Structure 1
Amino acid sequence: MLKKILSGEACAACRLCCIFDRYDAWETPVFTDEIRRRIQEACPEAEFVTKDGGYIFKVGEIGEDQLFSCPALTEHGCMLGDDKPFDCRIWPYRIMEVGGRRAITIASICEELYNRPLSQLVEFLKEGLADSIFAYADEHPEIVKPYYEGYPVLMFERKELSDPVWGY
């Protein structure tokens, strides 16, 4: 989904989005049942827990200096290829709930995109990615994460008000 703005080579060299420490374990992606089964077939030791109709990795206690790697990450990259979970396909964009509204944010850990002008990141969203993200979240509300401080908000969802704000 992001090939126009983020190179596969940059992702392959980095892989930070596939490795979690004790502070960002909440960021593990949400999987469909089909993808969960594919991962478990290849990695029977992978454990999952349900999350609002989807699945996330069961991440045990992570020590101060320990890391948790996504079981789908191999030495050749993601074993899921283009069938990655939606969270992974839109990374480092995130969809979060901010003050009761859904918003698209960006993770600062992705240096490739985070160091670009915000106007470029927002423009890419306006070219159709934002519509895709919000539509997917309509069907899969489990991917919407609570807002986490430090994630710049790039765009709020445009919602038409059903009730008039002013009683004129």
Structure 2
Amino acid sequence: MLKEILSGEACAQCRLCCIFDRYDVWETPVFTAELCERIREARPGTEFVTKDGGYIFRVGELRGDELFSCPALTDTGCMLGDDKPFDCRIWPYRIMEVGGRRAITLASICDELYHRPLSQLVDFLKAGLADRIFAYADLHPEIVKPYYEGYPVLLFEKKPL
């Protein structure tokens, strides 16, 4: 979904979006039941919990510098290929609720996009991606996360929640 602006090679080398510490474990993606099954077939010990109609990983308490890696992450990348959860397909863009409105924000840990001009990132959203994100969130409100301080707001939805 972001191939025009973010290279697959950069993502494959980085993988920061697939590894979580105790401070960003809230960012784990929301999965469909079908994707949960695919992951469980490959990684039988993987557990999920429901979240507003979707599923997220059951992650135990992380201590210190302990990390949680997405069970779909393999040595060659994501086992789900192009069938990744929507959260993953739009990352580092995030959809969050900010003051009663949905907004598209940017995760600052993605070096590849974070150092680009904000105008380029916003223009890419305005070229159609924002409409797709908001439309998906209409059907799957479970992907909308509460606003987390430090995420630059790039674009507010035109209509209130």
Same fold (TM over 0.5): yes
Q: Hey, what does 1:149 align to over in structure 2?
A: 149
Q: Hey, what does 1:81 align to over in structure 2?
A: 81
Q: CA deviation at 1:145?
A: 0.1
Q: Hey, what does 2:106 align to over in structure 1?
A: 106
Q: Hey, what does 1:58 align to over in structure 2?
A: 58
TM-score by length of 1: 0.94
Amino acid at match of 1:33: A
- Cα distance in 1 for partners of 2:43, 2:132 equals 30
- Cα distance in 1 for partners of 2:45, 2:97 equals 32
- Cα distance in 2 for partners of 1:13, 1:49 equals 29
**Aligned ranges for residues 85-96 of structure 1 at < 5 Å?**
85-96=85-96
Amino acid at match of 1:132: R
Q: Hey, what does 2:135 align to over in structure 1?
A: 135
CA RMSD of aligned residues (A): 1.1
Q: What SS does the corresponding residue of 1:151 show, helix, strand or coil?
A: coil
Q: What SS does the corresponding residue of 1:119 show, helix, strand or coil?
A: helix
TM-score by length of 2: 0.99
- Cα distance in 2 for partners of 1:133, 1:112 equals 20
Q: Hey, what does 2:70 align to over in structure 1?
A: 70
Q: Hey, what does 1:4 align to over in structure 2?
A: 4
Amino acid at match of 1:73: L
Q: State the Cα deviation string for residues 142-161 of structure 1 (Å, max 9, x = none).
A: 0000000000000000118x
- Cα distance in 2 for partners of 1:159, 1:50 equals 28
- Cα distance in 2 for partners of 1:64, 1:87 equals 26
Q: CA deviation at 1:65?
A: 1.3
- Cα distance in 2 for partners of 1:94, 1:37 equals 25
| Structure 2: 5+ residue stretches without partners | none
- Cα distance in 1 for partners of 2:101, 2:39 equals 32
- Cα distance in 2 for partners of 1:71, 1:24 equals 16
- Cα distance in 1 for partners of 2:98, 2:41 equals 37
| Structure 1: 5+ residue stretches without partners | 161-168
Q: Hey, what does 1:48 align to over in structure 2?
A: 48
Tell which structure's C-alpha radius of gyration is larger: 1
Q: State the Cα deviation string for residues 91-138 of structure 1 (Å, max 9, x = none).
A: 000000000000000000000000000000000000100000000000
Q: State the Cα deviation string for residues 66-85 of structure 1 (Å, max 9, x = none).
A: 00000000000000000000
Residue identity over aligned pairs, in percent, reads 82
Structure 1 residue runs of 4+, over 6 Å off? none
Q: State the Cα deviation string for residues 2-21 of structure 1 (Å, max 9, x = none).
A: 00000000000000000000
Matched length: 161
- Cα distance in 2 for partners of 1:25, 1:6 equals 23
